[in-house]
Amino acid sequence: MQKPVRYWNALRRRPLACHLALIALTLVALAVAAHVLMLAGTRHGARRTVPDFSGMPLAEAQRKAHDRDLVLAVNDSLFVPAYEGGIVLDQLPEGGVEVKPGRTVYLTINSFRQKMVPVPYVAGRSLRQAKNMLEIAGLGIDRLVYRADMATNYVLAEYCDGQEVLPASRMEAEAGTGITLHVGVEGGCGTVVTPNVTGYPLAEAKGRLWELGLNVGRIDFDEGINLLNQKDARVYVQSPGQEQSVPLGSEVDLRLTLDKERAAKVRAEAEKAARALAEERIRREQAAADSLARIRLEHALTPAGPQSGASQPQNGTPSDPPPAAAQARDDETDEFFF
């Protein structure tokens, strides 16, 4: 007991050392207090296992989350006819993950009905503009129908569920509904080069095909793809392939996978092949243009034939003179010699 007192008396005789010691003790005390408060506030070491809420009604999921000291928040909804309204479809973090108490779990639930949106009037606009307006409204394109008109790729008429949409229409449709567009094409037919849509999500692939005047044909999904993870799938097969000349309005079939590495590899290979096909197509088009220009030049350099009524030479040999001209020439020859 006397040693600490002796040390304290020695420090008091040295004010600077005494102040430094007090400061050091204060800092240590503050550090210990902060550590204790942090442990209490963050519940370090306390863990909760997130339940799997998929398929539960929202009310049941909230009761179970309360029992685990977790918080639920609905941040998205989908409409899946196979499920009842209010059923939990997806969650983040997933079930089975360990988290701290008080953690918020974000849910995607099934809507009780599909959202209704107004159908915009897009007739008279270019196909690209019409496609963008429909997508902004939450709609899509069901079918592109081409018919003869001087304005190629301009929308002539618009139909929703078989009913024509007019400027004065106040029509509504479920979000995601496809609209049929009648589009003009000069001469009644036209062609377009198919794009490369491998590696794209389904929505982007559809938009790329629509704006070029192509229809989306059959859509196939690899095993494991459903309505919840469909947005993560990527196109890895398309038919017909890229850089193919096809009639406007043709269908392009798609197949999607959740394997992003596979989709990226397919896209890289497709881009390489597309560049080669594009170069070959440009070479053929240039050769055809050069051939046509050569024919026109040869036609322009060919001399015009003699006036009508005169006989035309054949095979590069001069034609025989008319009988009257031949007789006059013989008479001149006789006068020269006689």
pLDDT at 217 over 90: yes
Determine how β-strand 155-160 pairs with β-strand 163-164.
antiparallel
How far from 311 is each of 85, 302, 316, CA to CA, in Å?
A: 92, 18, 13
For 52-66, how does the pLDDT look when each residue is reduced to its tens digit (9 = 90+)? 998 899 999 999 999
Q: Which CATH number among 3.30.10.20, 3.40.50.10420, 3.30.420.40, 1.20.1250.20 corresponds to the domain 191-296?
A: 3.30.10.20
- 338 vs 40: CA distance, rounded Å: 145
Q: Specify the pLDDT at position 303.
A: 74
pLDDT at 337 over 60: no
- 338 vs 335: CA distance, rounded Å: 5
List the one residue out of 256, 128, 124 whose CA is nearest residue 192: 128
Whether 156 and 149 have beta carbons less than 8 Å apart is answered as yes
Q: Specify the pLDDT at position 109.
A: 92
Other beta carbons less than 10 A from residue 196's beta carbon: 21
User: How is 128-195 classified by DSSP, letter by letter?
Assistant: HHHHHHHHHTT-EEEEEEEEE-SSTTBEEEEEETTEE--TT---EEETT-EEEEEEEEGGG--EEEPP
Write down the CATH number for the domain with range 48-110. Answer: 3.30.10.20
Bigger pLDDT: 179 vs 280: 179
- 314 vs 233: CA distance, rounded Å: 71
For 12-37, how does the pLDDT look when each residue is reduced to its tens digit (9 = 90+)? 677 777 777 778 888 888 888 887 77
Domain ranges within the chain, ordered by starting residue:
48-110, 115-189, 191-296
For 170-212, how does the pLDDT look when each residue is reduced to its tens digit (9 = 90+)? 999 998 899 999 999 998 788 999 999 999 999 999 999 999 9
For 283-298, how does the pLDDT look when each residue is reduced to its tens digit (9 = 90+)? 888 888 888 888 888 8
For 230-265, how does the pLDDT look when each residue is reduced to its tens digit (9 = 90+)? 889 999 999 999 888 999 999 999 999 999 888 888
Other beta carbons less than 10 A from residue 216's beta carbon: 22
Q: For residue 221, list its beta bridge partners.
A: 256
pLDDT at 332 over 70: no
Question: In the structure, what pLDDT confidence band is assigned to residue 308 with cuts at 50, 70 and 90?
Answer: very low
Q: Specify the pLDDT at position 80.
A: 80
% of the chain beyond a pLDDT of 70: 84
Q: H/E element holding 257?
A: strand 251-257
Other beta carbons less than 10 A from residue 184's beta carbon: 19
Q: Specify the pLDDT at position 316.
A: 46
SS3 for 232?
helix
CA 156 to chain CA centroid, Å, is 25
Give the alpha-carbon dihedral of 320, 322, 327, 328, to 10 degrees: -110
Q: Specify the pLDDT at position 294.
A: 85
Check for a shared fold between 48-110 and 191-296.
Answer: yes
Q: Which CATH class is domain 115-189?
A: alpha beta
Bigger pLDDT: 21 vs 158: 158
Backbone angles phi, psi at 39, to 5 degrees: -60, -40
For 63-100, how does the pLDDT look when each residue is reduced to its tens digit (9 = 90+)? 999 998 999 999 888 888 777 889 999 899 999 889 98
